[in-house]
Structure 1
Amino acid sequence: MKGIMEATKDVRAIEVENVSFSYNGVRALTDITFSVDEGEFVAVMGPNGSGKTTLLRILLGMLKPESGKVRVFGFDPCRDAEKVQSLVGFMPQKEHISTKPPLLVKDVVLMGRAARKGILSPLSKEDVEKAREALEAVGLEKVWDTKFSELSGGQQQRVLLARALAVEPKLLLLDEPFNGVDIPSQNRIIELLDRLSKKGVTVLAVVHNVSPLIHHIDKILLLNKELIAYGSPGDVLMPENMIKAYGAIIPIIVCEEGFAHPLFGDTHG
């Protein structure tokens, strides 16, 4: 692991060059190019079917692009899958956690560390400590021995975030982390992600509503099968870009501090 961390010095967290991908001949992404520096907090937005989740899967090495180049801290996610997975924490959009047998919260949070160690390697004291720390970071240390199925939707989302954090990632990939999350939980998650990015963790989060994040993110990646715009929120949230992405005029309110807030984003079906 130390060798991998050394190899990631002085390289960008994410580099995507001219990437295209199709599902059974139907184009999902076309000629996507962008880069993310280490420690940046980037929101990915666009309408349903715009390729947001597909992009995350490509970064994870779950999908191989038809063309183009992808690097995560200098590694190819498909060719160097194990190295990339050791650097990334992933929170999927929705995840079904089996209730037969019923899993405790601690079991869910420890899944990520267990997966990295392999089936034959037992969990260590350090693994348990890191899992507890991750659960504490999302404000749920008191539910360690609670059944996961007994938690509210918002609490379950925070537990899944803790699972991603427990592996001590250099890069966090989050797919709709606020689905089913109440406002207090959402604010807690946003504050946590903001602190992590300030400590050098790179965060790429797919969101349907960027407004709650506006004061925290560095950049927005606006997507609709092709890259519509990429840059600071003020540069991206322009009427012409929103029309290109959503096919309609999206009202944008600029607050006194100068931050732009679109009145609505996409919804995920």
Structure 2
Amino acid sequence: MPELPEVETVRRSLLPVVLNKPIITVQVNYERILQHISSADFKSALIGNEFSQIKRSGKYLIFSLKDNRELVIHLRMTGRLTYYSDQSIPLAKHTSVIFGFETGDELRFEDVRKFATIDLVSKGNYEQVKGLFNLGIEPLSKEFSPEVLSDFVHKRSTKIKSVLLNQSLIAGLGNIYVDESLFMSGIHPERPANSLKKAEITRLHGAIQTVLKDAIDNQGTTLRDYRTGYGQEGSFQNRLQIYGRKGEKCPTCGTNIEHKKVAGRTSHFCPICQKE
């Protein structure tokens, strides 16, 4: 599933090419992608409208419309929002929605697994989008401090990986970047959250922000499905230290990297550098 760096990369790549262009056609090939609205009403709301801004909140993309409504998009497992400069370019097999612009270009929403969603809401009215409505703090925001992270972990005895994956606490972190952050900070994913000492929390906070910024700079991680808004692969997969490297040598100490299920997800760690 695309995580914060991938969604942010899609946002940044689409900003220069889809804003302030009249939408003249909307084609819905998979109606179940639309939440709480029919295909006919969706088309009626979008045709003649324009995207005026794109924001990101956690793993959600929020497209502002000129009529003061918003499209809330979640890519889920395999969703792709891809810009095409020419409407004559053949459609990908699993294209769910197409937004055609007056300028002759298109924004296409492709989704192999068909889990992605689109909500049309009044500006800021996110009650119907449960995950967004209950979303936690942005980990790259000024508000996300070591003190805030300390408050999260010291109130909970669950495994630290479970806390970091909790979207109602910290928005946008997923399996890849939690594993990478825990490795960088030398913390085992199964450590009880409230066992972390102040210095460890400070290291973890710094690791989270460093890993996320580095991943964004490298346009995210492409392991299989993810692509930028231009249809290109990210490159952070080439910089992963621990995630997906089971059986390989730890880049720090040379011990074999191990993996196990933690918080319902396959977790990668070094048993020496990240002692339980």
**What TM-score, normalized to structure 2?**
0.29
Q: Identify the structure with the greater helix proportion.
A: 1
The higher radius of gyration belongs to 2
- Higher relative contact order, chain-length normalized (CA < 8 Å, sep 6+): 1
**What TM-score, normalized to structure 1?**
0.30
